[in-house]
Structure 1
Amino acid sequence: MTEEFERHLRESNLSENTVASYLFAVKQYQEQYNKVTQSNLKAYKVWLIENYSPKTVNLRLRAMNCYLESIGKAEWKLPFVRVQQKAFLENVISEADYTYFKNCLKRDGEMFWYFVIRFLAATGARVSELIQIKVEHVRLGHIDLYSKGGKLRRIYIPRALQDEGLSWLTEKNQESGFIFLNKYGDRITTRGISGQLKKLAVRYNIDPAVVYPHSFRHRFAKSFLERCNDIAFLADLMGHESIETTRIYLRKTATEQRTIVDSVIDW
Structure 2
Amino acid sequence: MEYRIQETAICRFGRELFEQERAKKTIERYQHQLRAFAQWTEGRTVTKELTVRYKQWLMERYSPASVNVTLAALNGFFKFMGWQECRVRPVRVQRRHYAEPSRELSREEYYRLLKTARQKGNMRLFHLLETICSTGIRVSELRFITVQAVKRGRADICNKGKYRTILIPRKLCEKLQEYCRERRIWQGSVFVTRSGRPIDRTNVWAMMKTLCAQAHVDAKKVFPHNLRNLFARCFYQKQRDLEHLATLLGHSSINTTRIYTRTSGEEHLRQIERLELLL
- Where 1:4 maps in the other structure, the secondary structure is helix
Query: How far has the Cα of 1:128 moved from its partner?
Result: 1.9
**Matched residue SS, 2:124:** helix
Tell me the distance in 2 between the aligned counterparts of 1:62 and 1:260: 36
Q: Tell me the equivalent position of 1:168.
A: 179
Residues 66 and 153 of structure 1: is their aligned pair in 2 closer, same or farther, counting only changes over 3 Å? farther
SS of 1:96 mapped into structure 2? helix
- Output the amino acid matched with 1:252: T
Query: How far does residue 130 in structure 1 lie from its aligned partner after superposition?
Result: 2.3
Report the TM-score when normalising by structure 1: 0.87
Structure 2: gaps spanning 5 or more residues = 1-8
Q: Distance in 1 between matches of 2:272 and 2:124?
A: 39
Q: Could you tell me whether the CA contact under 8 Å between 2:78 and 2:87 is conserved in 1? A: yes
Q: How does 1:223-234 map onto structure 2 within 5 Å?
A: 223-234=234-245
1:208-264 deviation line (CA, Å, top 9, x unaligned): 232211111111011111221111110121222322222233322235557889999
Which of the residues 81, 89, 111 maps onto 2:91? 81
State the partner residue of 1:9.
17
- The answer for the alignment partner of 2:109 in structure 1 is 97
Q: Structure 1 counterpart of 2:204, which letter?
A: I
Q: CA deviation digits over 1:131-189, x for unaligned, max 9?
A: 45332333331132132xx3334343223212221221122111112222223333333
Deviates more, 1:221-230 or 1:87-96: 87-96
CA gap of 1:153–1:28, structure 2 versus 1, over 3 A, is farther
Aligned-CA RMSD value: 2.6
Gaps of 5+ in 1: none
SS of equivalent to 1:137? helix
**Selected match of 1:184 from 187, 195, 207:** 195
- 1:19 deviates by 0.7
Distance in 1 between the 2:193 and 2:246 partners? 32
Write the distance in 2 (CA, Å) between the matches of 1:246 and 1:238.
8
Instruction: Give TM-score, length-normalised by structure 2.
Output: 0.83
Rounded Cα–Cα distance in structure 2 between residues aligned with 1:151 and 1:76: 33
The answer on 1:212 being equivalent to 2:223 is yes
Q: CA deviation at 1:113?
A: 0.8
Identity value in percent: 30
Instruction: Tell me which amino acid in the other structure corresponds to 2:83.
Output: K
Q: 1:262 to 1:169 in 2, by over 3 A?
A: farther
* 2:207 pairs with 1:196: yes
Tell whether the 8 Å contact from 2:129 to 2:227 is kept in structure 1 after alignment: yes
Secondary structure of the structure 2 residue equivalent to 1:144: strand
1:13-53, Cα deviation, whole Å (9 max, x unpaired): 21111011100111011112233332322222222222221
Return the match for 1:64 from 61, 71, 74: 74
Residue 249 (1) aligns with residue 257 (2): no
Contact kept, 8 Å, 2:67 with 2:91, in 1: the verdict is yes
Does the CA-based 8 Å contact 1:143-1:156 persist in structure 2?
Answer: no
For residues 85 and 138 of structure 1, what CA distance do their matches in structure 2 show?
Answer: 39
Letter in 2 for 1:112: R
1:50 maps to a residue whose letter is E
